[in-house]
Structure 1
Amino acid sequence: MPEYICPFGLKSLDLLKREGFSVDDNRLKTHEETDAFKTEHGVKTTPQTFIDGQRIGGYDDLLRHFGKKVRDPKAVTYQPVIAVFAMAALMAVAASWAAFGDVLTVRTAEWFIAISMCILAILKLRDIEGFSNMFLGYDLLAQHWVRYAYLYPFGEALAGILMIAGALLWLAIPAALVIGTIGAVSVFKAVYIDRRELKCACVGGDSNVPLGFISLTENLMMIAMAVWMLVK
């Protein structure tokens, strides 16, 4: 339609062409045409794919028809965390190369942790209400002082930024140490003592990342970074 381009229609066309099909693309250009099509074929959504006159269905049905994986929006996944740490590592390597002409430096490791903290803080801050709702489910301090759930992402971001810059470490070190320690204790209690199955708020309140080792790693990294900076 003039005011709307259907992403699933484009994906269906692309998939069919990649599978070697010649496609007869019948576009529904008005709401009236779309409603009439749905009524005629007894379907609730468009696009609909037909192969040799047999209706296959929508885009997900087409994926299944070709034996391809269909993403379950509720399925547990570590993809967001992998993306965060992979990008943080690459950014740290790039920064080290630009600054020192070498990718394997002490600053590479420091920047990796600090950049990871900043990216994770961004993901929390993009929907701080959603983050706080999930965070309150397991963080011990937040359960006694709700405002901490709103302050946590800012503290993580501040510590990360200061550690990247190597500035005001008298502020960055205790911030990372406090929130990292509280977070590690909270996650350990919820997962390994209480045996609760929860979602991790580490990459935001809408994630399907399970609370566990990854969440504990985030907090342990902050503690390690704070101790390292203190010793250094």
Structure 2
Amino acid sequence: MDKAAQLYRMVTDDQVCPYGIKAKHLLESRGYKVEDHPLASRDETDAFKAQHGVDTTPQVFIDGKRVGGYDSLRELFGIAREKGGKSYRPVLAVFAVALALSVSVSLGMLGSLGVRTIEWFVAFSMAMLAMLKLQDVEQFSSMFIGYDLLGRRYVPYAYAYPYLEALAAVLMAGRVLPWISIPVALFIGTVGAVSVFYAVYIQKRELKCACVGGSGDVPLGFISLSENLAMIGMALWMVLQF
């Protein structure tokens, strides 16, 4: 006997509930035959919510019993998403994409992997992290000042940091103007490394890292420190090259 579910979701001329679409897909992917009930107007949606005593749509019913919305459906299937909490996922995603890009560019342009692959990996990582910071410099600077030793004493540095990181990254990617990129990367990397080490390992404070911008919830720690160490290493390597 086919498994069946009833789905009530808002589908109007100017708005289609994305969670309703996702709930339908999730049910179908689990082998359910979905009896879809689009709610075609705001009045119809409000009437449905009042009838069932719920505040939101979509709503899923299985075997005549209300399961709830999309999050409840995920929980039913054992795939409930975690809300809140700290995670290294944002910065690890940046590193993974940067690595994939550097490998792709190396193989496509050079035909092999080598030193340039590592250089591009660091430069691409810096560039993407800077881009995330630049999305909201005000929020980034507020988090950054919480632990950066120089930013705490000279606030304009906190605002300038994302631009300096982006500048160093772009120049290093093409080995352009090393007399600018090297001192910039060496300076911000060293200050950052000392600041993170002091806050985490000396003061033992539990803080959010501003490395992926102000919206991230990445714990300040070794992975945060690695961004700064990579900049220092890249700068010292380029000193040897030039």
1:129-169: CA deviation from partner (whole Å, max 9, x where unpaired): 12111111111111111111110000001001111111110
Alignment of 1:108-123 (within 5 A): 108-123=117-132
Task: From 175, 179, 195, give the equivalent of 2:184.
Answer: 175
* Residue 78 in structure 1 maps to residue 84 in structure 2: no
Alignment of 1:1-232 (within 5 A): 1-72=12-83, 74-102=84-112, 104-232=113-241
1:221 counterpart letter in structure 2: A
Query: Which 4+ residue blocks in structure 1 deviate beyond 3 angstroms?
Result: none
Deviation, 1:71, is 2.9
DSSP-derived class of the 1:134 partner:
helix
Instruction: Note the residue ranges of structure 1 that are not aligned, 5 or more in a row.
Output: none
Q: Distance in 2 between matches of 1:68 and 1:216?
A: 32
DSSP-derived class of the 2:229 partner:
helix
Query: Which stretch of the first structure deviates more once superposed, 212-221 or 63-72?
Result: 63-72
Deviation, 1:206, is 0.7
Deviation, 1:69, is 2.8
- Between the two proteins, the alignment pairs up a number of residues equal to 230
Q: Distance in 2 between matches of 1:179 and 1:49?
A: 52
Deviation, 1:179, is 0.2
DSSP-derived class of the 2:49 partner:
helix
DSSP-derived class of the 1:43 partner:
coil
1:114 counterpart letter in structure 2: A
TM-score for both structures, normalised by structure 1: 0.97
1:164-200: CA deviation from partner (whole Å, max 9, x where unpaired): 1111101100000000000001101111111111111
2:54 counterpart letter in structure 1: V
Deviation, 1:221, is 0.3
Q: Distance in 2 between matches of 1:68 and 1:219?
A: 36
8 Å CA contact 2:72, 2:80 repeated in 1: no
